[in-house]
Structures are given as structure tokens and as C-alpha cells.
Amino acid sequence: MTQGRHSKGTDWLGIVSLGFFLIAVGIVFVAAPNLIEEIGTFVRDFHLEAYANIKLPAPKTPHPIIYDTIKNFCYIFGASQIIILILRFALRDLSSKKAETGSGIIFWLGMGVFADFANSLLAEPTRWFSLVSGLIIMVGLLIISRILLRELLRML
């Protein structure tokens, strides 16, 4: 069947998505007024930590505000991508754009779950390594879901 309209020129929904990104950044900065200082403290707190017989950089102390901010950003931006996906279907956008947005939803909401989980752990560096592991898992899911969604949408 049809793949949807062929997009020529500017991806207007991509620009709308950028707007949602900026709104999400603004919201997390309003929710955590000392975020810049917290980020500085977080970065300065890194040291080499033995993990599975490999020395990797990790923070020494817990930073719940950082993990909570990551979680909030991921959930807000992931929710905004649901709106973008609905608009892509309503405007009969390319299946590749729909797949890109759909896989983005999976990535952002999944990263929110991993950030929430990391924040629930009691000690560093376990929190940090859980978040990094979640990132690796979600990048893998992003790649797989984008390919599968694109092929599924092409068949419809």
C-alpha cells in the first residue's frame, strides 16, 4: 500500500519536536532551581571505580536530584513524542518518520524507567552503572524498534 506522503523540504514536526525538547529542558530547570550547581557537583564527584574488574568513572556519592531530573526530562519528552506520533499519523507522514518517532517514544520512556530505578538504589556507584546499563539497553531497543516499526508500517 502507500507509505504516506513524501516529505519534501522541512520536517515541520521535527521542528515542533525541538520545541517540545526546549520546553522539557525548561521544565526540569524550573523544577530543580539549583540544577547547574548540582550538575557541577555531580561531574566533580567522578572518580575511577572498579566494576567487573575494570576501572570506570563513577560518582562517589548519591545525586538524587540529577537522577530525578533525568527521569523527569525523559518522561516529559517521551510524552511529547506521543503527540508528535499522533500528528505524523494524522498528516500521513512517511512511515520512516513514524517509525523514528515511535522508537523515540520507546527510548525516552524506557530511559525514564531506568533513571527512576537508578534513583531508587541506595548507593553509588550502583546507581550510575545501572543508568549507564539502561542507556546501553535502550540504544539497542531503539535500533531494533526503529527497524521493526519501519518495516511493519511499510507493510500496512
| Residue 94 banded pLDDT, cuts 50, 70, 90 | very high
Domain positions in the chain are 19-155
Position 12 confidence tier, pLDDT thresholds 50, 70, 90: very high
The pTM assigned to this predicted structure is: 0.89
Q: Torsion over CA of 127, 61, 40 and 65, rounded to 10 degrees?
A: 60
pLDDT confidence of residue 2: 46
Task: Give residue 57's region: left, alpha or beta (phi > 0; psi -120 to 50).
Answer: beta
Q: Give residue 32's pLDDT band: very low, low, confident or very high (50, 70, 90).
A: very high
| Cβ pair 78, 92 in contact under 8 A | no
